[in-house]
A and B are shown apart, each in its own frame.
Chain A
Amino acid sequence: MSLELVCPAGTPAALRAAVDAGADTVYCGFRDCTNARNYPGLNFDPDEMAEGVAYAHRFGRKVLAAVNTFPRAGDARPWHDAIDNAARANVDAVILADIGVLDYAATKHPELRRHLSVQASASNELSIAYYRDRFDIRRVVLPRVLSVEQVAALVRRIGIETEVFAFGSVGPMSEGRCFLSSYITGLSPTSEGACAPASHVSYKEDGPETLSRLGEVTLNRFSHGEPAAYPTPCKGRYVTHGRTSYLFEEPIALNAIDILADLQAAGVTALKIEGRQRSRAYVTEVVGSFRQAIDALDRGQGGAVENTLASVAEGQRQTHGAYTKGWR
């Protein structure tokens, strides 16, 4: 079976660009706190979602709606509305993380296919089995902390589809359970959908260098032209033992384009491209490259496609992340 290429769309234009560039599936979110990329100027209202689904379906492609943040106590309405609106828009599946939202979707819309978001941080067979057995999830998006061998072992045991990250950021923390951004800004990625919200990010020139800050906290200092990541707390420089380093993760992008054959052999169903917050040009370039690579793999010519994605990779450097040895 050919690997399914799952691509991001932060806007209706990006959705069309992804379909046109060869995405099998596009994922997007509503324009509010119910999805984990709640940034200004991004995402879809219910009508745009329905139009996007119609466009994709015209070409035989699918659309997934991410409703993958955690409702606030006393205020589940936006999340329930998002599920209802996704069902009404005729999406092919919803991507969910919160146990209460999963319960709502499974009860109110049993026919609506459910995927488990990476925000649920299900990293082992028992966790995945819990969600599978209670909420009938059909696919799990695996956290970026597993090796190819671990992925293969999970695929054999869990009996549902797996989707893995193929391109985007290297998330070193267990996702959906990281409170670093709210510790610094007071705004919660888990319930408000934005890690390091732009409203709290600032840059300051300091001679030949630039300081990047999140809230009142200085996260990095870099010289002009030096690659630096967007200032999320896990991509900053810190001082331990008097030494300054990228303690959590370097400014580097995950790119699995040259290990697709390994992921396919592991039994993975789908490859996820991250970047709903990125431009339409990014979507076109990354999706196009992965389309070519998957097509080459299907023709028995894996590895024949040149990796040309360095220019769009965060920090312009690339890694296989946890998929290969040595990352931990």
Chain B
Amino acid sequence: MTNTINGKLTLGPLLFHWTPEARRDFYARIADEAEVESVYFGEVVCSKREPFSEKDNEAIIARLEAGGKQVVRSTLALMTLDREVAAARALAESGVLVEANDVACLQEVSGRPHVIGPYINVFNEGSQDVLIRGGAVRIVLPVEATAATVRVLASRSAVETELLVFGRQPLSVAMRCYHARSHELTKDSCQFVCGQDPDGLAADTIDGTSLLTINGTQTLSNGYLVLLRELAALRGMGVTHFRLSPQHVDMVAVARTYRAVLDHAITPEEAAGDLAALTAETPWQNGFLHGREGLAWVESELSPA
């Protein structure tokens, strides 16, 4: 549909607990308007959320496919319950393309094409080789990856390499629900309070500095990862797919902006101006890729490969 030589855009899984209505509307608009090649779809954070919108999944997938999108089914990042493992097994056995976010899935999809999600640690050639031998056709590198790591792994990879370039950075997953704890509840009695915060709940330091975002059992950065100026260098290193993580902003416009930079239709500086209007007060971060604190914002360019 769009220029693939310049790199493909993907939309990561929706990490937040939106109402079924908001979720349907969001994906309808993505299907019809967003310039992304792949859409990752599925609950990554908490299986308790799934019953709310399960009934819509089939229609959403059909609509995305009708819109020309490759749909990849994302799994939970941390599975401990029998029903969670059984669901992952059933998904793998159904033959759809799966993004494995817990090693559990690999036991089921090995030997068949699948995507390695960013919640499985791939930091080196050894793990990359084992996973490719197991049938991985695309590897999404962890958010902590530095440019040195991306350069080595993307340039040697026999399969596609994907990197998160927009959205809050996933920093940890847990069994405990911090969203529930923030309301003095527990995971078992959570009342689905995570649904009150469509872009996550701010967790600030005790001296009032913005630092983290809570999303149920997941902890994210307070800021949005924004890699615009770095896109050309990443493409040169061999990164093939660039992931936009859904936030409560105009994601169609975000995709349009990134697409324009990848296609050299606008400069990263022009894109930054457009994006700033979309992301409002949320700070931007890019430290991990630059080998710095993940919360840092670094203005300098990446050296080309």
Query: Which A residues are closer than 8 A to B by beta carbons?
Result: 70-76, 98-101, 103-104, 120-127, 129-131, 133-134, 145-146, 150, 153, 172-174, 176-180, 182-186, 188, 190-191, 215, 217-221, 234, 236-241, 243-245, 247-248, 322, 326-328
- Cα(A185)–Cα(B294), bound, Å: 8
Q: At the interface, is chain B mostly helix, strand, loop or mixed?
A: mixed
> Contacts of A177 on B, CB cut-off 8 Å?
77, 119, 121, 172-173
| B176, A100: Cβ atoms closer than 8 Å | no
- Cα(A326)–Cα(B221), bound, Å: 27
| B80, A73: Cβ atoms closer than 8 Å | no
- Cα(A220)–Cα(B211), bound, Å: 14
Q: How big is the B interface, by class?
A: 35 or more
> Contacts of A134 on B, CB cut-off 8 Å?
130
Answer yes or no: B21 CB below 8 A from chain A CBs.
no
| B175, A328: Cβ atoms closer than 8 Å | yes
Per CB-CB distance, the 5 closest pairs between chain A and chain B, nearest first, are A100-B126, A126-B104, A183-B294, A145-B175, A73-B152
Listed A/B pairs (13) with beta-carbon separation below 8 Å: A100-B130, A104-B126, A126-B85, A178-B171, A180-B212, A182-B288, A184-B293, A218-B209, A243-B182, A245-B181, A247-B182, A248-B174, A328-B188
The A/B interface has a contact count, at CB < 8 Å, of: 215
Which B261-305 residues sit within 8 Å CB-CB of chain A? 287-288, 291-296
| B175, A72: Cβ atoms closer than 8 Å | no
Tell me, rounded to whole Å, the shortest Cβ–Cβ distance linking A78 to chain B. 11
Which B108-157 residues sit within 8 Å CB-CB of chain A? 108, 110, 119, 121, 123-131, 142-144, 148-149, 151-153
Chain B: CB-nearest residue to A328: B187
Chain A: CB-nearest residue to B296: A186
> Contacts of A145 on B, CB cut-off 8 Å?
78, 80, 174-176
- Cα(A188)–Cα(B145), bound, Å: 10
| B182, A127: Cβ atoms closer than 8 Å | no
Chain A: CB-nearest residue to B105: A126
- Cα(A53)–Cα(B77), bound, Å: 38
> Contacts of B85 on A, CB cut-off 8 Å?
124-126
| A130, B103: Cβ atoms closer than 8 Å | yes
Q: Which of B169, B182, B201 gathers the greatest number of chain A CB atoms within 10 Å?
A: B182
Tell me, rounded to whole Å, the shortest Cβ–Cβ distance linking B174 to chain A. 5
Chain B: CB-nearest residue to A98: B127
Tell me, rounded to whole Å, the shortest Cβ–Cβ distance linking A185 to chain B. 6
Name B107's contact: one of A74, A130, A173, A176 (CB within 8 Å): A130
Tell me, rounded to whole Å, the shortest Cβ–Cβ distance linking A162 to chain B. 14
> Contacts of A219 on B, CB cut-off 8 Å?
205
- Cα(A328)–Cα(B294), bound, Å: 28
Name A124's contact: one of B84, B181, B288 (CB within 8 Å): B84
| B126, A239: Cβ atoms closer than 8 Å | no
| B205, A74: Cβ atoms closer than 8 Å | no
Which B169-218 residues sit within 8 Å CB-CB of chain A? 169-178, 181-183, 186-188, 201-209, 211-212, 214
